[in-house]
Chains A and B, each alone.
Chain A
Amino acid sequence: MGSEAATTLHPKLASWFRRKRWQPFPFQEEAWRAFAEGAHGLVNAPTGTGKTYSVWMGPLSLWLNENPDFGKWPKKETAPPFVLWITPLRALANDTAKSLLAPVSALKLPWSVELRTGDTSAARKLRHRQKLPTALVTTPESLSVLLSYDTTRELLKTLRCVVVDEWHELIGTKRGTQTELALARLRTWVPELRTWGLSATLGNLEQAMQVLAGISGGERRLIRGPRDKQISIETLLPESIERFPWSGHIGLRLLPAVVRTVGQARSTLVFTNTRAQAELWFQHITAANVPWAKKVALHHGSLDRQVREAVEQALRMGAVRCVVCTSSLDLGVDFPAVDQVIQIGSPKGVARLLQRAGRSGHQPGVVSRIYCVPTNAFELVEYSAARTAANSGHIEKREPLDRPIDVLVQHLVTLAVGSGFEEEELLREVRQTFSYQNLTDGEWQWAMEFVTRGGPALRAYPQYQKVVRHGERFGAANDKIAKLHRMNIGTITGDMAITLKLQGGGVLGTVEENFLAKIPAHGRFIFGGRVLQLVRIKDMTATVRLASDASGILPNWGGSRMPITSQLGVAVREQLDAARRGVYDGPEMEMVRPVLQIQASWSRIPAPDELLIEFVRSREGYHVFIFPFEGHFVHEGLGSLLAWRIARLMPRTIGVTMNDYGIELLSAQPIDLGLDEGAWKKILSPDRLLDDLLEGINATELSRRQFREVARVAGLVFGGYPGAMKGVRQMQSSTGLLYEVFVRHDPDNLLLDQARREVLDRQLEVVRLRAALERLTSAKLLMQPLVRFTPLAFPLWASRLSSATAHLTTESIADRIRRMVLHLEDAADETEAARA
């Protein structure tokens, strides 16, 4: 191996490796060789195994081979751009640049390694328009901004290699699509450019590589790192199952076990699924009576960047015992000091659990340890299922998006604002990307017409200006358009973030506008582990002061309803099937055994090819529980679909509640399908699925909400930014308003169509939904008329009581308004009574 390495790695680099006493891993040598041979590639290796250098050494070697004469190295200046390193997280950029610099400084290479992210100073950004560093570390958004300057093409002509870090985070998102388009542009500028990526394990790595490298020619290699990294998945078992909350509770009962576990190791990451849970667990762990209670930190996406960075720094130095965090620490640099990971609540997916486990035990030969803390009985089944799936290599896929028109529209304007484009050439280039390989001529023409003339509905409307044609090339209409566009490049959209500021003190972080809207004046809430009282909100800043009393307050913001993946759903069904056959494998299944036995004796445990439907009558009405195990989103679509189909047969209002396992339909009148299997099969038919979804579910309302993102990406609205350009303030408009104007005056607009498509694909997960229906129609139906709620049904019933439920109704809108008027009056009466 060593001698082969010598042929692929430049001797200077090989000796640097030796000086560091590093023995190259076989996958690193394989990557260096592939790079030397001119291939594109994707490296799949866990963090902490040297994956950064598996890619970084390739271009360094290449440069050294091409510039063998030390005497001819540039003295005063640094070498021109050679590598572009794209990272999804600007928080990662700093550490990445540091690792990249290590061999550069050791060998005194005339290379500059610089950052360009949203945080980069304006002065440096300005300098980057004249000269770019040898290696630039940047984000997809900042790369797009770079493409929007006309000097960039000339500056990048010496580029040889582009690397996309954490590609698994980008693929399957609009940021990933944006990256694909940018890469295609770079490849047009520099045809011999080599594209490399780094990715965690995915179910479709091969495809992920094709998406990264584009569909045109060029050899590409998938390189897999060591797979013998041992991962241990264990569960902190409650003492008894009886004391167990049935559903939805935050499971603090296991707090003593969690504190004990943290106490066993030097450093622990405690992952929760929501920020609210992170705040809650942080509160309780710091309140524990242990010597290290002061050495506990909190990390989530809303906290101020400086606070987060301080926590990360402390983690790196091994100065904290425990960090309670959300997905905010899923990504990123290594924290070698982390010994173990604790996962609170459902793992939601196999890959996610593995990735979190992988944040610990970075030293070679050390086991990555994750302890799972169930918050309800069925999460025990999920842990067992996730471990089984992980052991047999059943990991989720991340599918690339299929030609989102809003991202394309943004890209067209970006390029026009930059050095401009020629239509035919650009269409060929765009179709080289995986996402847009099937882009039709019609869609392309629509997008072109949209950016040049505002779309068919604006034909011949002279005031509209954005992209204009100069001879064969398209460019920006004017500087103001260019400036406005640059400020709004990107595909990350979210709630407006409001800055939280301590009265007479510093910035604490940001919270979503929607959350603050729910806090009454002088209301209290928990943030960053502190109880705060709202003083006022003004100009995107909320001023707060510290409050002392925390009683009765639950942080309930920023909650996400991430569903379990279908991969995990399948694994859960398999675990249940084993239980049905009396096989309880592992401590979790053993623990949950009494619960499942009750399920089996009162009702049934369904086999993978069976669908369990339970009927219960209570004082509330007639309940039907259906258990497809397909995850929350699919159940949301499925539940509404079934309710709609039933309500059409027999006019009525049906309440729909769902969780990751099943659906509850509740009606005041009996659901007269009874036990007729044929009738249920009809209700479950995949025929007319789309029509029924669009007609039955309030798809219009969902599309209107989804349009918010589409409109933002396509440049119809401008994100809030401080110091908005003068004269632009009157441009504020809500996307809801735009949506209505488009629906009324330009109904064929492809962006509306895309919003609908995204609702179907992403929110209702129509592909999964259709597959589920197909599976269910061929399933054997187990119809169970019962007198009480089973263990499977109970959590559904309980969660309906604690949260708002979707209802399906055939009332007219005017009837609805009249009924709501009554509600409004009731509410007013109550308020009045409360005031009195």
Chain B
Amino acid sequence: MKSLPVKWAGEELVVLADKALFWPREQMLILADPHFGKASSFRHFGVPVPVGTTASDIARLSFLVDHTAARRLVVLGDFFHHRTGQCETTMSALGAWRESRRELEITLVLGNHDRNSMPPPPEWRVEVSARPLPWGPFLLCHEPCRHEGHHVLSGHIHPAVKLRDTFGPALRLPCFLFSDGIAHFPAFGGFTGTAVVKPRRDDIIVALHEGQIFELSA
């Protein structure tokens, strides 16, 4: 998999093309906003979203964990989309995945969608943190915030960058946005939308497109 080393807050980090970040010193894999069960929730309300998004997200997750040999997975919120999506199919698929990666430690910093969902079952052994979690030089949280003395890693906004030129339609690519002490993570889930962000000078943008990484820092 394509990866891009980024030095930030004095730490060596690696951006992975599959919308996650690896922190080698802690052997920590970090991602945000998987929104598991979103498709099921839509089906519950009569919108026939095709099957396959959860399976492909889980496959990507497995690949990332194995590829990085991460010891810990941190999810920066919105692990689940909504309680109506926490159906048998979704839960058993995730449960089976958890079983297959028993050694992996998992930490979830709760997001706004998690509050409208049931917590992960105890047998999944997920450490849940209801508030932002300091970890070394970083503060791990869901909604972006500013914090004295910490660099913030956050999700929630699903950032994307819009690229345009005079040649045809604009492209919209999910991205990492490192801006003013906050690292905004792209949404990990395959069935999630994006919000276009307007980068400022000195921001670092790492755009992701089909397994490729483009660094757009000024």
Give A residues with C-beta under 8 Å from B: 450, 453-455, 457-458, 461-466, 477, 480-481, 484-485, 653, 698, 701, 715-717, 727-728, 730-731, 733-734, 736-738, 741-742, 744-746, 749, 804-807, 809, 813-814, 816-821, 823-825, 828, 831-832
Contacts and interface: CB of A to CB of B under 8 A. Distances in A.
A450 B44 CA distance: 14
A737 B53 CA distance: 12
Given A698-B169, A806-B168, A455 B48 contact: yes
B51 A745 contact: yes
Task: Tell me which of B46, B165, B193 has the highest count of chain A C-beta atoms within 10 A of its own C-beta.
Answer: B46
A464 B113 CA distance: 21
Given A701-B169, A737-B192, A816-B171, A730 B51 contact: no
A834 to B, nearest CB: 12
A457 B53 CA distance: 12
Determine the main DSSP class of A at the interface with B.
Answer: helix
- List 9 tightest A-B contacts by C-beta distance, closest first: A454-B48, A745-B52, A746-B50, A457-B50, A745-B50, A466-B46, A820-B163, A464-B43, A807-B167
B96 interface: no
A741 B190 CA distance: 8
The dominant DSSP class at the B interface is: loop
A821 B193 contact: no
B87 interface: yes
A465 B113 CA distance: 23
Given A463-B43, A463-B87, A817-B207, A455 B218 contact: no
A821 B166 contact: no
Interface string B113-124: 100100000000
Nearest to A701: B169
Contacts of A809: 167-168
A715 B50 contact: no
Interface string B75-99: 0000001101001110000000000
Contacts of A453: 48
Contacts of B43: 454, 458, 461, 463-465
A312 to B, nearest CB: 39
Contacts of A462: 87-89
Given A824-B163, A824-B216, A465 B193 contact: no
B42 A737 contact: no
Nearest to B53: A741
A480 B44 CA distance: 10
A602 B49 CA distance: 60
18 contacts: A450-B48, A457-B50, A458-B48, A465-B46, A466-B48, A484-B46, A698-B169, A701-B168, A736-B193, A741-B50, A741-B53, A744-B190, A745-B52, A814-B212, A816-B165, A817-B173, A821-B214, A828-B199
Contacts of A816: 165, 167, 171
A688 B160 CA distance: 37
Interface centre among B45, B87, B88, B216 (most CB of A within 10 A): B45
Contacts of A715: 46-47
A465 B42 CA distance: 10
A749 B50 contact: yes
Contacts, number: 134
Contacts of B50: 454-455, 457-458, 741-742, 745-746, 749
Contacts of B88: 462
B209 interface: yes
A375 to B, nearest CB: 26
B154 interface: no
B116 A730 contact: yes
B23 interface: no
A151 B51 CA distance: 36
A463 B89 contact: yes
B49 A738 contact: yes
B201 A832 contact: yes
B41 interface: yes
B7 interface: no
B48 A653 contact: no
Contacts of B116: 730
Contact of B45 (A484, A814, A818): A484
B25 interface: no
Nearest to A413: B46
Contacts of B192: 737
B216 to A, nearest CB: 5
Interface in B172-194: 173, 190-193
B135 to A, nearest CB: 29
A731 B45 contact: yes
A464 B167 contact: no
A627 B192 CA distance: 46
Given A463-B89, A814-B212, A832-B201, A807 B166 contact: yes
A825 B161 CA distance: 13
B47 A825 contact: no
B218 to A, nearest CB: 6
A825 to B, nearest CB: 6
B67 interface: no
B49 A820 contact: no
A804 B52 contact: no
Contact of B193 (A450, A728, A734, A806): A734
Interface string B12-51: 0000000000000000000000000001111111111111
A737 B191 contact: yes
Contacts of A828: 199, 201, 218
B15 to A, nearest CB: 16
B102 interface: no
Nearest to A457: B50
Contacts of B199: 828
A465 B190 CA distance: 23
A349 to B, nearest CB: 29
A465 B82 contact: no
A453 B49 CA distance: 11
Nearest to B48: A454
Given A738-B49, A825-B218, 10 more contacts: A455-B48, A461-B89, A463-B87, A653-B167, A731-B41, A737-B192, A742-B50, A744-B56, A745-B51, A820-B171
Given A653-B167, A805-B166, A813-B209, A733 B52 contact: no
Nearest to B84: A727
Nearest to B87: A463
A485 B45 CA distance: 10
A744 B44 contact: no
Question: Which among A450, A653, A701 has the greatest number of chain B C-beta atoms within 10 A?
Answer: A701
Nearest to B214: A817
Contacts of B56: 744-745
Contact of A730 (B81, B89, B212): B81
Nearest to B116: A730
Interface string B206-218: 0101001010101
